[in-house]
Amino acid sequence: MPRAARAGSDHPVLLDPPAAPSALPRTVAPMRPRLAAEGFNSPDHLFELKWDGIRAIVSNDRSGLRIVDRNGGDLLPAVPELRSLRLPDGALLDGEIIVCDSRGRPNYDLLVGRLGPKASKRGKGPLFVAFDLLYDDHQPLLGLPLEQRRERLAARALAQKGLVVPEHLENDGEPFLDVVAEYELEGVVAKRRDGRYVPGGRSADWLKCLVSPRADVVIGGLVLDERRGARALLCGWMNDNGALTYAGEAYVPPYLGEWVDAATRSFRTDGSPFLGPFPLRPGMVWLRPKLVAIVDHESVERDVLVDARFRALRFDARIDDCRNEEPVEVPEYPPTGGLDRPRLIVMHSLPFKFE
């Protein structure tokens, strides 16, 4: 509203000048899910696909487009194809960068294959999957319920070449997980409708429901075979005191043995990184606890992986995140429908036609 004069000023001021928009934070530590004991139905949750990619924060302000990983590292040099993304000024998005296989499924191995020293441009992508809007028009939305943030994300109509805004399902997480398993995808993330965004927090407001058990572990050593290279990883969990505890072995498939051996040589060390005494055996070598592996497994018994198998190195690893997760039990509700709606959500969410 016009003012005759400012207090303490000798000259009239007709309008207060608008405040210049503030720069967005350089990054926001992503909120992370805890592990659910199993798939579940709930009227209090929204259910989304779990994307087999690298978590990323994408933003645009007066300093330009930024794409950073969950540790704040610049990802644009690794995914130059995404430099052309067009975002409104003052927007900051949470999501994942993915690459899809020939059948249209997100595939972590194909993504990482594009980022290494011998980059291979296999697969479809890269794409940024935007599943949360954290800043809009320079204003923080972290304190709003998820449902409102999702509504504002959808209203922004940001979908474009290289950027996907996936759909979500209400109520029926268990049938959704069944369809995800049928499509051979990684899993489902259940998010409380009324949940606020907690940067850097690992909260039960977000729960990951996996088709097959999977874990991130620290590589503390290898068991080598003269003919095929690495035969097994010696895996570890970080405890609350920052020490590495033994989590069992993970089998390394023969076709990856030489690669794992070569990729870890610069991390070799003379002593065990694990807490407590460790029995030696032929072919064993120790590694400095810097590398994180993704392993599939059957179960965890007494903090030790059962029938674990090496899958890939974690590109955006933090060793402190490698912990034995206690699954969260969730109250169960009956499903409200069959498989038709979950199957439609999967088909609409995947960026390429599933073949």
Does residue 12 register a pLDDT over 50?
no
pLDDT value of position 21: 54
Does residue 20 register a pLDDT over 60?
no
Question: What's the pLDDT band for 335 if we cut at 50, 70, 90?
Answer: very high
Determine contact, residues 97/82, Cβ cutoff 8 Å: yes
Active-site annotation holds for 121: no
Q: What residues pair up with 219 in beta bridges, in sequence order?
A: 235
Digit-coded pLDDT (tens) for 168-213: 999 999 999 999 999 999 999 999 999 999 999 899 999 999 999 9
Does residue 18 register a pLDDT over 50?
no
Element of type H or E holding 349: helix 340-349
Q: What is the mean pLDDT of residues 65-72?
A: 93
Digit-coded pLDDT (tens) for 99-130: 999 999 999 988 988 775 555 678 899 999 99
pLDDT value of position 3: 41
Domains parsed from the chain with CATH numbers:
32-211 (3.30.470.30), 214-321 (2.40.50.140)
Q: What is the largest CA-CA distance in the chain?
A: 88
Question: What's the pLDDT band for 317 if we cut at 50, 70, 90?
Answer: confident
Q: What is the mean pLDDT of residues 153-168?
A: 95
Does residue 22 register a pLDDT over 70?
no
Catalytic residue among 50, 124, 191, 208: 50
Structure tokens at 316: 């955006």
Residue whose C-alpha is closest to residue 34's, from 195, 168, 219: 195
